């Protein structure tokens, strides 16, 4: 679970990213989950764009894909959202979580 400070840090990093994954008519399938998982493994932070043909709501789509990839949703903005999953050797260093925020 990400704290607010960590989400702000990831949003700042994700601002300049181009969408690596696009959700369209076929929506969330095994191949899309595999592609997103591979992208998360390589990049840690990815931007996903929902196309006009996607029937899922942006909140529903982000939660489904995040849970399928064991990732966290860092931001939902318009028709795009950011997913974050730390790699085995993390490249992105997140701000420390406060003890009070975790309680």
Residue 95, domain member (yes or no): no
Residues 26 and 55: beta-carbon distance below 8 Å: no
Residue 32, domain member (yes or no): yes
Predicted confidence (pLDDT) per residue in 27-60, tens digit: 799 999 999 999 999 999 999 999 999 999 999 9
Kindly report the CA angle at 69 between 88 and 59, in degrees rounded to 5?
130
Indicate the number of domains in the chain: 1
Task: Report how far residue 41's alpha carbon sits from residue 53's, in angstroms, rounded to the nearest whole number.
Answer: 27
**79-91 mean pLDDT:** 93
pLDDT at 26: 83
Instruction: Read off the tokens for 69.
Output: 């990839």
Q: In the chain, what percentage of residues exceed pLDDT 90?
A: 78
> Does residue 101 have a pLDDT over 60?
no
What sign results for the dihedral spanned by CA atoms 9, 73, 28, 90?
Answer: positive
pLDDT at 52: 92
Residue 33, domain member (yes or no): yes
């Amino acid at each position: 679970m990400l704290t607010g400070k960590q989400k702000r840090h990831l949003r700042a990093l994700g601002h300049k990213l181009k969408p690596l994954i696009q959700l369209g008519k076929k929506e969330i399938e095994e191949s899309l989950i595999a592609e997103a998982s591979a992208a998360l493994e390589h990049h840690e932070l990815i931007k996903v764009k929902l196309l006009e043909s996607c029937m899922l709501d942006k909140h529903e789509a982000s939660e489904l894909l995040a849970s399928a990839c064991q990732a966290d949703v860092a931001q939902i903005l318009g028709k795009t959202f950011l997913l974050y999953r730390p790699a085995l050797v993390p490249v992105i260093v997140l701000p420390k979580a406060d003890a009070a925020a975790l309680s």
